[in-house]
């Protein structure tokens, strides 16, 4: 990482200010936990924290900051960045490394991205390190959810809230990063306070087609007999299903806005959104979002994309009619 696209916005967040204040007081905790689905924001936060530990202002220009930005600082480690398994053996190596003297003296920093992907055995291995922390060694964990994080780990870390960004902040951040204004406004409108989500929507060249495919599907999905017709659709291909689930989330977010009489974020598909709102009650929208979360979890556990699509469509059909029946 040679630059920080969203440094100004993240520096203004309560998450950064809280940890920076700990550094200023000389009270940096041995471990922090940041819960956020906004990966762009978390990665920026982690880089800023590392810069701030070695530079009083996290200026981004001095030799220490440049080493952090170029990831050439030997005492700063980034772990579990992908979706691959992080093993007990790898965690043992982290523990052993943490117990060694810093290469350059001073603090040693370990950043765990996607900590929710770690299975229970490596988490248990890590727990011992938290219970017997090393001097001048600090761990920073991030996860989209605490559902798969051991309660014993959560009880031994300082939890920091990373609040959502305002729509205006997301728009301005995207424009500053080079996104055309019109696209930035669209991304910000659909971001739900996430820089990552905003960037994805702002730069998606197939955005309108993808929205149309999902809304047409929801209108046409009348019953379980229609599932087979849609389950092998291209939007559920292995390389597209993750993005498709994000589109489903945005569509249902807009449907909820329609129910509440609020501005519809997906204004490009307003007519279709109102039609879907007539089919899905408020309760059904809530349950539909839970179904999508389950689908994401199944994808993370390497469930076949077609099976995930089948589950999604069947459950959407089920919640739509279950919630309507409860009103009858």
Distance CA 98, CA 93 (A): 8
Task: Report yes or no on 179 lying in a domain.
Answer: no
Q: How confident is the model at residue 82 (pLDDT cuts 50, 70, 90)?
A: low
Give the residue from 94, 126, 161 where a domain finishes: 161
Distance CA 113, CA 314 (A): 33
Q: How confident is the model at residue 48 (pLDDT cuts 50, 70, 90)?
A: very high
Q: What is the CA radius of gyration of the chain?
A: 22
Q: How confident is the model at residue 94 (pLDDT cuts 50, 70, 90)?
A: very high
Query: 148 pLDDT exceeds 90?
Result: no
What single-letter DSSP state applies at residue 214? H
pLDDT number for residue 204: 86
pLDDT number for residue 326: 59
Distance CA 289, CA 312 (A): 10
pLDDT number for residue 233: 80
User: What is the tens place of the pLDDT at every residue in 297-326?
Assistant: 888 777 899 999 999 999 999 998 887 665
Q: Which residues pair with 277 in a beta bridge?
A: none
**Do 213 and 149 share a structural domain?**
no
Task: Report yes or no on 72 lying in a domain.
Answer: yes
Task: Report yes or no on 181 lying in a domain.
Answer: no
Range of the domain at 282: 204-327
**Do 155 and 33 share a structural domain?**
yes
Query: 2 pLDDT exceeds 70?
Result: no
**Do 157 and 11 share a structural domain?**
yes
Mean pLDDT of 277-296: 93
Q: Which residues pair with 140 in a beta bridge?
A: 32, 111
pLDDT number for residue 224: 85
Distance CA 227, CA 223 (A): 7
Task: Report yes or no on 180 lying in a domain.
Answer: no
Query: 327 pLDDT exceeds 60?
Result: no
Mean pLDDT of 102-117: 91
Task: Report yes or no on 105 lying in a domain.
Answer: yes
Task: Report yes or no on 267 lying in a domain.
Answer: yes
Mean pLDDT of 196-222: 91
Better-scored residue on pLDDT, 135 or 117: 135
Task: Report yes or no on 257 lying in a domain.
Answer: yes
Share of the chain above pLDDT 70, in %: 97
Closest CA relative to residue 282, chosen from 309, 308, 311, 262 = 262
Query: 84 pLDDT exceeds 70?
Result: no
**Do 224 and 147 share a structural domain?**
no
**Do 149 and 14 share a structural domain?**
yes
**Do 153 and 230 share a structural domain?**
no
Distance CA 58, CA 289 (A): 39
Mean pLDDT of 161-181: 94
**Listing from the earlier edge strand, what are the strands of the sheet with 76-79?**
76-79, 108-112, 137-143, 31-35, 158-161
* pTM, full prediction: 0.84
**Strand pairing report for 31-35 and 108-112:** unpaired
Contact in structure between 299 and 284 (CB atoms under 8 Å): no
Per DSSP, the chain holds a count of helices (H) and strands (E) of 16, 5
Distance CA 322, CA 286 (A): 13
User: What is the tens place of the pLDDT at every residue in 253-263?
Assistant: 999 999 999 99
Number of domains in the chain: 2
**Do 80 and 154 share a structural domain?**
yes
Query: 157 pLDDT exceeds 80?
Result: yes
**Do 138 and 238 share a structural domain?**
no
Tell me the pLDDT of the chain averaged across its residues.
91
pLDDT number for residue 40: 94
Which residues 6+ apart lie within 8 Å of 155 measured at CB? none
Distance CA 60, CA 69 (A): 8
Share of the chain above pLDDT 90, in %: 73
**Do 219 and 144 share a structural domain?**
no
pLDDT number for residue 89: 92
**Do 27 and 156 share a structural domain?**
yes
Contact in structure between 68 and 47 (CB atoms under 8 Å): yes
pLDDT number for residue 302: 79
CATH of the domain at 308: 1.20.272
Task: Report yes or no on 85 lying in a domain.
Answer: yes
Q: To which H or E segment does residue 158 belong?
A: strand 158-161
């Amino acid at each position: 990482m040679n630059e920080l696209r969203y440094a100004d916005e993240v520096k203004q967040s309560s998450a950064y200010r809280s940890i920076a204040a700990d550094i200023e007081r000389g009270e940096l905790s041995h471990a922090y936990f940041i819960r956020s689905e906004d990966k762009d924001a978390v990665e920026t936060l982690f880089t800023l924290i590392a810069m701030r530990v070695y530079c009083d202002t996290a200026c981004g220009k001095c030799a220490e900051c440049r080493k952090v930005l170029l990831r050439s600082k030997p005492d700063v480690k980034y772990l579990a960045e992908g979706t691959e398994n992080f093993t007990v053996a790898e965690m043992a190596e982290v523990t052993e490394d943490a117990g060694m003297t810093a290469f350059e003296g001073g603090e040693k920093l370990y950043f765990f991205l996607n900590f929710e992907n770690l299975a229970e055995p490596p988490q248990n291995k890590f727990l011992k390190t938290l219970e017997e922390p090393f001097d001048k060694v600090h761990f920073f964990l991030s996860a989209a959810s605490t559902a798969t994080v051991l309660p014993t780990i959560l009880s031994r870390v300082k939890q920091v809230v990373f609040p959502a960004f305002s729509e205006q902040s997301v728009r301005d951040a995207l424009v500053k990063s080079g996104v055309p204004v019109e696209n930035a406004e669209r991304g910000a409108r659909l971001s739900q306070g996430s820089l990552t989500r905003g960037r994805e929507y702002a730069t998606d060249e197939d955005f309108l087609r993808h929205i149309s495919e999902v809304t047409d599907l929801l209108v046409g999905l009348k019953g379980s007999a229609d599932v087979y017709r849609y389950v092998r659709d291209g939007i559920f291909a292995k390389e597209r299903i993750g993005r498709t689930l994000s589109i489903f989330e945005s569509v249902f977010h807009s449907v909820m806005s329609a129910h509440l009489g609020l501005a519809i974020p997906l204004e490009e598909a307003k007519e279709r959104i109102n039609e879907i709102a007539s089919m899905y009650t408020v309760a059904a929208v809530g349950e539909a979002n839970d179904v999508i979360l389950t689908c994401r979890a199944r994808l993370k556990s390497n469930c076949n994309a077609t099976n995930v699509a089948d589950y999604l469509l069947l459950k959407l059909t089920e919640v739509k009619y279950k919630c309507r029946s409860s009103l009858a």
